[in-house]
Amino acid sequence: MSLVSDVSTLDKPGSASTAARGRRSRGRYLPYYLAIAPFFVVFAVFWCYPLVYSLFLSFQRWDGIGPMQFVGLANYRFLVTDPAFWTSMLNTLIIWIMSVIPMTILALLIALGLNSTIRFTGLYRIAYFIPNVTSIVAMSLVFSSIFSEQFGILNWVLGAVGVDPVPWLSNPWGIKTAISVLIIWRWVGYNAIIFLAGLQAIPDEVLEAARVDGASPVQTFFRVTLPLLRPVLLFSVLMSAIGGMQVFAESQVLVGNRGGPDQAGLTMVLYFYDQAFYYNDFGYGAAISWGIFLVVVIFVVINWRLIQRPGRREDAR
């Protein structure tokens, strides 16, 4: 909200001036506009144009080479009656839930640990952040060795402690678990660093006051630290939702383009990729991408409501 008021005050002098002054000041601002132009040019060419074009494409049948054929809403009709699309949507949501909850808890624990370590803090931070900048395909290949059913390290370890091997990459829930673990591994460090920043922003006075009042460490955590971390937690959940809706490479490398048995690893973006770039059905691919867009919008609205609600309660108080 503060952003909006700032902009309006900035606008005021311009709008109050005469037309001549407006023209001159517009000329005066030209270098500034030019200075920010590169971003907008790139944005227009590489974002806006493909966006509009994909909408156009979603009404066509096109194999990528020959002439396009206008098919009206046929792609969308096919989309809403396509069980694979609904499966992919459900899979995406399930995988997101399966990854975001353990990841947040784990990241919080790591952040608390990092916050209380005295030595080598920089080293730990780098160590936890490294998974996030590692090539995702390389990681997925490593994970497919770990989860390999008959010869994987994980099943070997399970066997060593007397547990029956789990068919990680052929059982539908095994596949979802494997993908979730890969996502958790990749993002837990990133979120831990963000939580750590949040923890360090909590003033010592508050924590000291809690200690003076006789609060136990557990009470301090749940009554003081966690509430104060709320904005950071919300940020992390929101970011993970944006990432979670776009899960693709993890599934593709672990179970292949088709999503594995029972399409258990078929995420929305993987299905889009499969149709558009593997089978070259570009019209339908574009329709899927707009379907994904709608799902994401609904998701964002839900998230936004969740974030807004406590704020309103505070206002009412």
Residues that bind other proteins (CB under 8 A): 31-32, 34-35, 37-38, 61, 63-66, 69, 74, 78, 82, 144-145, 147-152, 167-172, 174, 252-258, 260-264, 277, 279-281, 284
d(CA 122, CA 251) in angstroms, rounded, equals: 32
Nearest approach, Cβ of residue 78 and other proteins (Å):
5
Nearest approach, Cβ of residue 17 and other proteins (Å):
22
Long-range CB contact pairs, 268-273, < 8 A, 24+: 268/85, 268/88, 268/89, 268/91, 268/92, 268/292, 268/295, 269/245, 270/88, 271/84, 271/85, 271/88, 273/248
Query: If DSSP codes are grouped into helix, strand and coil, which group holds residue 69?
Result: strand
120: Cα within 13 Å, side-chain hemisphere: 6
Tokens of 211: 């200690």
- The neighbour count for residue 265, using CB atoms within 10 Å, is 27
Nearest approach, Cβ of residue 97 and other proteins (Å):
21
Nearest approach, Cβ of residue 38 and other proteins (Å):
7
Tokens of 91: 């899979």
Nearest approach, Cβ of residue 247 and other proteins (Å):
15
Smaller CB distance to other proteins: residue 72 or 203?
Answer: 72
Smaller CB distance to other proteins: residue 74 or 112?
Answer: 74
Nearest approach, Cβ of residue 283 and other proteins (Å):
10
Tokens of 103: 């990841």
Tokens of 17: 């001036």
β pairing state of 60-61 and 69-70: antiparallel
Smaller CB distance to other proteins: residue 159 or 227?
Answer: 159
Smaller CB distance to other proteins: residue 78 or 235?
Answer: 78
Tokens of 237: 């959940």
Nearest approach, Cβ of residue 246 and other proteins (Å):
19
Angle at 182 between CA 179 and CA 183, to 5 degrees: 90
Residue 60: what are its φ and ψ, rounded to 5°? -120, 160
Tokens of 51: 């966006």
Smaller CB distance to other proteins: residue 37 or 130?
Answer: 37
Residue 69: what are its φ and ψ, rounded to 5°? -125, 125
Smaller CB distance to other proteins: residue 6 or 63?
Answer: 63
Smaller CB distance to other proteins: residue 45 or 297?
Answer: 45
Nearest approach, Cβ of residue 258 and other proteins (Å):
6
- Could you tell me the sign of the dihedral formed by the alpha carbons of 16, 22, 26, 29, in that order? negative
Smaller CB distance to other proteins: residue 168 or 190?
Answer: 168
What residue type is assigned to position 25 of the chain?
S
